[in-house]
Structure 1
Amino acid sequence: MTEYGRGRSPEPWHPEDPLYGDQVWSGHEAQQGQMSYGGGPQQQYPQEPQYQEPQYQQPSYPQQGPHDPYAQQQQAQHQQQQQHSGQHQGYAPQQAHPQQAHPQQAHPQQYVGQPQQQPTYAGQNWDTGQGQYAAAVQADPYVGADPYAQQTVGAYPGEAPDLYTTEEAYPPPVPPGRRHLEPEPADDLDEEPDTSFFSGEGGGDDDGDEPPGRRSGRSKGGKPKKRSGTACLLAAVVILGVVGGGGYYGYSYLKARFGATEDFSGEGSGETVDVEIPKGAGLGQMGRILKEAGVVASAQAFVDAANANPKGKAIQPGIYPMKQKMSGAAAVALMVDPSKLNVLTIAEGMRSATVYQAIDRKLGKPEGSTREIAEREFKNLGLPAWATDNPKVVDPLEGFLYPMRYDLSKDSTPESLLKQMVKNATDKYTELGIEGKAKELGLENPLQVVTVASLVNAEGKNHDDFRKMSEVVYNRLKKNNYVTNQKLEFDSTYNYIKGKSDINFSLKEARAFDNPYNTHFVKGLPPGPIGNPGADALTATLTPDHGGWMFFVSVDGDKTTFTKTYEEHQKLADEFQERQKQKNGG
């Protein structure tokens, strides 16, 4: 079966060719015919039998010499106009070719029309598919029509004009052998175009006369384009920046990795500075803080010294008064010594009078300076309103100087420290919700909650005893307490009003001493706290043991024993008195 529309090589029609694809181009159906090769007459090939029907041979027309395919358009147009005006085109029987190899002679119909000559390119005939077909085979009804002739518009219904004659039409078909010829070289390609970054040419410098993708390397005026000096300078700056930056960081890395660690020598020669180490800081962060303060030469020097010191990893957060230009080892030695740490630590249960003395010593103030400020400024230190309800309270700040560690700086004053302590206590009481829990515990106000906590903290020997101690307080405050007649009889209250901490005193004298804080003399709680309770005592006060304890005694001065009855308590009290006599040599 003949391959229509193909040349000598097995390549398809060009995509822009109207004959490419499905045999339809601009309204005209593709003409099919035999292609002649080599300029000789076309060779006829028998058709393969299909569906047991007789085969017919297409008629062949003699090839004509070279001619211009467009020269026939006027003649074809003139003939078509004559045919259309006088008669309809029809089909006439054709003569069967004698060379048909089949037993039956076929008489195909022949289309009445002018046979067209085949165009010739480079001395070779090229079939454009304008042959004629028999009506018995599957043939184009328009066989024989010249594809290059001007078609008369409206001659046949549905027929479109020939688009090859318009300005927007595709170019005439090109022979297969000439479809991929290289374009002729340009006249000015002897010079390579300069399209580099330094040429200064952008994507929009085309003249418009050259095809896309090709540049002549010259501007519209014919002169070579100049390189941009700004672009060269910018590139040089970028290169120098990259090289310089890389060299600097490389040098810094090598120096930090293999160079000797910078470090000062000695105990320091500069002024004293306060360095604050935050909570949770690691050695590296500590070293950076010290370096920024001018204490050490480098953070690595401090880290190395801390790792070499057995106590280096136990450095406490806080404010340290340190000299500038200290060696890493000297800085670590100072910070691992707790006495060098510039802090004030308030112990749990410590009395306010003791706190005032500690502040005076730490800040270098004359003795009594802090107490005087507390008595004069207590209303301006941030106390809650319920803290000053009882006018019998000896010290309004008692119970509100919250026990913890306080970092000091050169700007610390007694007043600033007292304010900070009161704030911490108030925040803690609010956190625990003591205002709402006072009534639940059978107490009159939140101040009594703090007072009970101060008693628990003063009488307890360890934290495990605090809940039992609070149970003793609540049981003795009950109205049905006929054993002690609602008296607490805590020695700590008598010592508080006396300003002492003795455990050996005359019980007879204590019971005769008339003072609202002396629970051996008065019933119920004292007017206010007798110390500054810590978190454990406060929690135990809010959650008593509920073991029914009424008495307690510490026989050996270390362990506290709790009892429910007076008989058990008396037995332990006698044992305690006996030990005290032996201890005193009596």
Structure 2
Amino acid sequence: MTEYGRGGGSEPWHPGDPLYGDQGWTAHQTQQAQVPYSGDPQQHYAHPQEPQYQQQYEGQYPQQYPEQGYDQQVQHPHQPMAQQPMAPQPLYDGSGGQGWDTGQGQYAAAAVQVDAYAVADPYAGADPYAQQAVAAYPGEAPDLYTTAEAYPPPTPPGLRHLEPEPVEEAPVEEPEEDFLAEGGRSDDGDEPPSRGRRAGGRAKGGKGGKQKKRSGAACLIAAVVIVGVVGGGGYYGYTYLKDRFGAAEDFAGEGSGETVEVEIPKNAGLGQMGRILKQAGVVASAQAFVDAANANPRGKSIQPGVYPLKKKMSAAAAVAVMIDPTKLNVLTVTEGMRNSKVYEAIDKKLGKPDGTTKDIAQREAKNLGLPAWAGNNPKIVDPLEGFLFPMRYDLSKDSTPESLLRQMVKNAADKYLEMGIEGKAKELGLENPLQVVTVASLVNAEGKNHDDFRKMSEVVYNRLKKTNDVTNQKIEFDSTYNYVKNQSEINFNLKEAQRFDNPYNTHFVKGLPPGPIGNPGADAVTATLNPDHGGWMFFVSVDGDKTTFTKTYDEHLKLVAEFQERQAQKKNGG
């Protein structure tokens, strides 16, 4: 059976029913939840719940399910009861049968009792086929198809997948731009044949002409912007490609007459060097310098320092100057170098008269930063001797003799403090740290390598011992005699040296000289602090290259005889 309760027995839905399949879809058949009249042709009755029904039967029937909000309803003997917005209910079908059990038998029984009362039919005399307004059931959703804000009715199933026909719109004619005529006319006053009457009419109206003028100006501005963007991009693209793949910009020749001093810092790479040179105006581009340095086999051996270079040099010419150590504007104090030689080198590098730096050193010695333990012996010839630390010093246009001397003294004092010579002086049997520097200057003058330095310092310490009865505590180093004489001779008269009275001449006096005889390097100082401890007392270099050390005087005499014989052969041309 159906849920509409059509009368006795079950009956299929009528084909004309709007809910039967997909047939009969029209705009007026889309009404919501209309109830058919049982047993008659398709009629639609609504059962408004009017007040008289509620009053007439008020009190005769107890309200059902008040907690659920259902209102008391009555049913006309010939009209099916209005449906409630609830789960399917058992319905009376007129044949004594009962539908499915939904568990709401009370509500079904109340519906059956309504037939037992004779109730006046409020619908008597009314047109049964007239379209009646549909009353909303309690809790029912509003009809979305009959109000002003209603949704459009659903499309019939047969037309649901059809694409709507496109609506053709009248084409909008745009005014053509004509930069040769104003207001849509050519220079001779005739209408352009392609424009027609409409274009001419708009031009005459004035407004169209203004719009066309503005449109033409906008196109012109847009064209200028596009050209600018394309041109700018092209320029930068050309510049990038030129820098990336083109030859680097470079000068030609050895440069102009103007000379500039360029300082290359430590750990600088070729790229940084090139940028420094370009900024100074020496080379045209950093890349040109890098290319030239890479092309030169010695290009990567460029040392940091100050270089006197000319402006607008070719990159290759600049590299050629910078790989030549003699062109580097530096002053190098070598290990064991005497102060007298250092003073001469400073005067020469700075273009000062001879003796300028020596006079400053003697006059300003106490103001150049010497350690407190230095220069206390009144017999010292030069208080700065041993304190002009051996290394390379970069010169600049601001360099002066005094600034260089101060820098050298500071480097020496810092190095000696780092090596801890003050604390080790007593351990070595020396009187003060100055004597440590003095021993280091002796071994640096006599030896050739670190092994020589360690053995020679052992010789000095053994000869300084009071138990030394072989040399009677005399050091007897030829270098001390040469220092007094300001020379560097190997062959000199030994007997004359032994008679020459000078506190620095260890062939004449016992013990150490008053101060250093040169500027020892770090290697010599380290060896002095760590002697060999081999018991050596003598040494001699027979061939002028290798130094041989002995412990006894007899062994030493044999080596001396061999040395003298070799020297005689050289003198005679052998």
Q: Indicate whether the TM-score tops 0.5.
A: yes
Query: Once the 2 structures are TM-superposed, how far is the Cα of residue 522 of structure 1 from its aligned partner?
Result: 2.8
Partner of 2:69: none
Q: Are the aligned partners of 2:439 and 2:457 in contact in 1 as well (CA < 8 Å)?
A: yes
Q: Secondary structure at the match of 2:49?
A: helix
- Relative distance call for 1:546 and 1:413 in structure 2 (3 A) is same
How far, CA to CA, are the matches of 1:63 and 1:444 in structure 2? 142
Asked if 1:88 is matched to 2:74, the reply is no
Asked if 1:132 is matched to 2:132, the reply is no
- Relative distance call for 1:249 and 1:41 in structure 2 (3 A) is closer
Partner of 2:512: 525
How far, CA to CA, are the matches of 1:41 and 1:311 in structure 2? 103
Q: Are the aligned partners of 1:83 and 1:89 in contact in 2 as well (CA < 8 Å)?
A: no
Query: Once the 2 structures are TM-superposed, how far is the Cα of residue 430 of structure 1 from its aligned partner?
Result: 2.7
Partner of 1:11: none
How far, CA to CA, are the matches of 1:150 and 1:325 in structure 2? 102
Query: Once the 2 structures are TM-superposed, how far is the Cα of residue 495 of structure 1 from its aligned partner?
Result: 1.6
Asked if 1:293 is matched to 2:293, the reply is no
Asked if 1:475 is matched to 2:432, the reply is no
Question: Equivalent pairs: percent with the same residue?
Answer: 71
How far, CA to CA, are the matches of 1:35 and 1:510 in structure 2? 150
Asked if 1:302 is matched to 2:276, the reply is no
Q: Secondary structure at the match of 2:249?
A: coil
User: Which amino acid counterpart does residue 132 of structure 1 have in structure 2?
Assistant: Q
How far, CA to CA, are the matches of 1:252 and 1:399 in structure 2? 58
Aligned with 2:551 (options 543, 558, 564): 564
- Bigger Cα Rg: 2
1:515-545 Cα distance to aligned partner (Å, 9 max, x none): 3322223333222211111121122222222
How far, CA to CA, are the matches of 1:278 and 1:37 in structure 2? 106
- Relative distance call for 1:489 and 1:236 in structure 2 (3 A) is farther
Query: Once the 2 structures are TM-superposed, how far is the Cα of residue 297 of structure 1 from its aligned partner?
Result: 1.8
How far, CA to CA, are the matches of 2:295 and 2:245 in structure 1? 19
Q: Are the aligned partners of 1:270 and 1:325 in contact in 2 as well (CA < 8 Å)?
A: no
Q: Are the aligned partners of 1:400 and 1:532 in contact in 2 as well (CA < 8 Å)?
A: yes
Q: Are the aligned partners of 1:269 and 1:326 in contact in 2 as well (CA < 8 Å)?
A: yes
1:402-429 Cα distance to aligned partner (Å, 9 max, x none): 1111121222211111122122222222
Query: Once the 2 structures are TM-superposed, how far is the Cα of residue 358 of structure 1 from its aligned partner?
Result: 0.7
State the Cα RMSD in Å: 4.8
Partner of 2:201: none
Query: Once the 2 structures are TM-superposed, how far is the Cα of residue 90 of structure 1 from its aligned partner?
Result: 6.7
Query: Once the 2 structures are TM-superposed, how far is the Cα of residue 481 of structure 1 from its aligned partner?
Result: 3.0
Structure 1: which 5+ residue stretches go unaligned? 5-33, 44-59, 92-110, 119-126, 152-160, 166-170, 193-226
Q: Secondary structure at the match of 2:344?
A: helix
Query: Once the 2 structures are TM-superposed, how far is the Cα of residue 75 of structure 1 from its aligned partner?
Result: 0.7
How far, CA to CA, are the matches of 2:394 and 2:259 in structure 1? 16
Q: Are the aligned partners of 1:76 and 1:149 in contact in 2 as well (CA < 8 Å)?
A: no
User: Which amino acid counterpart does residue 516 of structure 1 have in structure 2?
Assistant: P
Asked if 1:321 is matched to 2:308, the reply is yes
Asked if 1:376 is matched to 2:363, the reply is yes
Partner of 2:260: 273
- Relative distance call for 1:240 and 1:405 in structure 2 (3 A) is farther
How far, CA to CA, are the matches of 1:240 and 1:248 in structure 2? 12
Query: Once the 2 structures are TM-superposed, how far is the Cα of residue 236 of structure 1 from its aligned partner?
Result: 10
- Relative distance call for 1:112 and 1:343 in structure 2 (3 A) is same
Asked if 1:422 is matched to 2:422, the reply is no
Aligned with 2:383 (options 373, 381, 396): 396
Q: Secondary structure at the match of 1:319?
A: strand
Query: Once the 2 structures are TM-superposed, how far is the Cα of residue 581 of structure 1 from its aligned partner?
Result: 3.2
Aligned with 1:550 (options 533, 537, 552): 537
- Relative distance call for 1:172 and 1:299 in structure 2 (3 A) is closer
Query: Once the 2 structures are TM-superposed, how far is the Cα of residue 150 of structure 1 from its aligned partner?
Result: 7.4
Q: Are the aligned partners of 2:258 and 2:311 in contact in 1 as well (CA < 8 Å)?
A: yes
Deviation larger for 275-284 or 376-385: 275-284
Structure 1-normalised TM-score? Answer: 0.66
Aligned with 2:49 (options 48, 57, 75): 75
1:59-88 Cα distance to aligned partner (Å, 9 max, x none): x966996668xx75x617775677674443
User: Which amino acid counterpart does residue 328 of structure 2 have in structure 1?
Assistant: L
User: Which amino acid counterpart does residue 344 of structure 2 have in structure 1?
Assistant: Q
How far, CA to CA, are the matches of 1:570 and 1:258 in structure 2? 74
Aligned with 1:339 (options 320, 326, 347): 326
Q: Secondary structure at the match of 2:262?
A: strand
How far, CA to CA, are the matches of 1:41 and 1:63 in structure 2? 16
Q: Are the aligned partners of 1:89 and 1:112 in contact in 2 as well (CA < 8 Å)?
A: no
Structure 2-normalised TM-score? Answer: 0.67
How far, CA to CA, are the matches of 1:81 and 1:480 in structure 2? 149
Q: Secondary structure at the match of 2:430?
A: coil
How far, CA to CA, are the matches of 1:376 and 1:39 in structure 2? 133
